[in-house]
Amino acid sequence: NESIVIKGKRFLVLKMIGQGGSSKVYQVLDQRNQLFAVKYVNLEEADAQTVESYKNEIEHLNRLQQYSDQIIKLYDYEITNSYIYILMECGNLDLSTWLRNRKTVNPLERKLYWKNMLEAVQTIHKHGIVHSDLKPANFVIVNASLKLIDFGIANCIQPDVTSIMTDSQVGTLNYMPPEAIKDTSSQPGKASSKISTKGDVWSLGCIMYCMTYGKTPFQTITNQITKLHAIIDPTHEMEFPDIAEKDLLDVLKRCLVRNPRERISIAELLEHSYLKLQS
Ligand X SMILES: CN1CCC(Oc2ccc(-c3[nH]nc4cccc(OCC5CCCCC5)c34)cc2)CC1
Q: Which residues bind ligand X (CB under 6 A)?
A: 17-18, 25, 37, 39, 72, 88-91, 93-94, 96-97, 137, 140, 149, 168
What is d(CA 144, CA 105) in angstroms, rounded to the nearest whole number? 14
Nearer to ligand X, 20 or 205 (CB): 20
Spatial separation of the C-alpha atoms in residues 147 and 216, rounded to whole Å: 21
* Catalytically annotated residue among 133, 150, 160, 233: 133
Q: How far is the CB of 124 from ligand X (least distance, A)?
A: 15
- Residue closer to ligand X (CB basis): 17 or 228: 17
Residues 82, 42: contact at Cβ < 8 Å? yes
133 annotated active-site? yes
Cα angle value 167/260/136 (rounded, 5°): 20
Which residue's CB is nearer to ligand X, number 27 or number 192?
27
State how far the alpha carbon of 276 is from the alpha carbons of 119, 273, 279, in Å.
Answer: 15, 5, 8
Nearest approach, Cβ of residue 28 and ligand X (Å): 11
Which residue(s) pair with 93 in the sheet?
141
Query: 38-61 burial, b for 16+ CB within 10 Å, e for fewer?
Result: bbbbebeebeeebbebbeebbebb
DSSP, collapsed to helix, strand or coil, labels residue 18 as strand
User: Minimum distance from CB of 56 to ligand X (Å)?
Assistant: 16
Strand partners, 147: 140
When the beta carbons of 72 and 146 are compared against ligand X, the nearer one is 72
215-221: long-range pairs with CB below 8 Å, 24+: 216/174, 216/175, 217/174, 217/256, 218/173, 218/174, 219/174
CB nearer to ligand X: give 72 or 251. Answer: 72
Helix or strand run (H / E) with residue 10: strand 9-20
For residue 96, the minimal CB distance to ligand X (Å) is 6
Q: How far apart are alpha carbons 104 and 107 in whole angstroms?
A: 9
Interhelix angle for 246-255 vs 197-213, to 10°?
Answer: 140
Q: Least Å distance between CB 18 and ligand X?
A: 3
Q: Which positions are annotated as active-site residues? A: 133
